[in-house]
Amino acid sequence: MAVSEDIQKQIDQAEELFFSGEEKEGFVKDLYFGRFRESSIFPYPELSVEDKQASDAFVEKVKEFCESEIDPAKIDRDAEIPLPVIGGLGDLGVLGMTIKPLYGGAGKSQFNYCRVMEVIGGHCASTGVFVNAHHSIGLRALELFGTQQQRETWMKPLAAGEKLAAFALTEPNAGSDAGNVRTTAEPTPDGEGFIINGEKRWITNGGIADVLTLMARTPDAADPEGKITAFLVTPDMEGFEVIESAMEKVGIRGTQTGRMKFTDMYVPKENILGPQGKGLRVALTVLDFGRTTFGACCTGAAKFALERMVARARQRVQFGKTLGEFPMVKAKIAEAAADTYAMESATYHTAALIDSGAEDYMVETAMIKVFASDQLWRIVNDCLQVWGGKGFFTDQPFERMMRDARLNLIGEGANDVMRAFIAAVGFRHVGRDLESMLKPGNWLKVPGAVLAKASVPVKHEHLRFHARQLSAQIGKFGWAIKTLLAKYREGAIEEQLPQMRLADIATELFMASCVYSRLSSVLNNGTIPESVRNHEVKTGVLYLKLARKRNERRFEDLKVNFDEDLVDVADSWLDCGFDQDWVVVPRNEEIGQ
Residues marked active site are found at: 412
3-state secondary structure 160-191: CCCCCEEEECCECCECCCHHHCCCEEEECCCC
**Residue 240: C-alpha distances to residues 224, 267, 307 (Å):** 27, 11, 46
Query: Cα separation of 212 and 235, whole Å?
Result: 8
Neighbours of 390 (CB within 10 A): 12
Q: Using CA atoms, how far apart are residues 530 and 89, in angstroms rounded to an integer?
A: 38
CB 361 within 8 A of CB 353: yes
- Residue 118 burial (CB count, 10 A): 26
- Strand 165-168 versus strand 321-322 pairing type: unpaired
Q: Which of 222, 216, 62 is nearest to 128 (CA)?
A: 62
- Asked, as a colleague might, if the bond just before 101 is cis with ω within 30 of 0, I would say no
Ordered DSSP codes for 340-359: HHHHHHHHHHHHHHHHTT-S
| Amino acid identity at 582 | W
CB proximity list for 57: less than 8 A, separation 6 or greater: none
SS (H, E, C) 426-466: HHHHHHHHHHHHCCCCCCCCCCCCCCCCCCCCCCCHHHHHH
SS3 264: strand
Residue 529 near residue 522 (C-beta atoms within 8 A): no
Q: How far apart are CA 390 and CA 316, in angstroms?
A: 11
Smallest Cα–Cα separation from 159: which of 142, 144, 139? 139
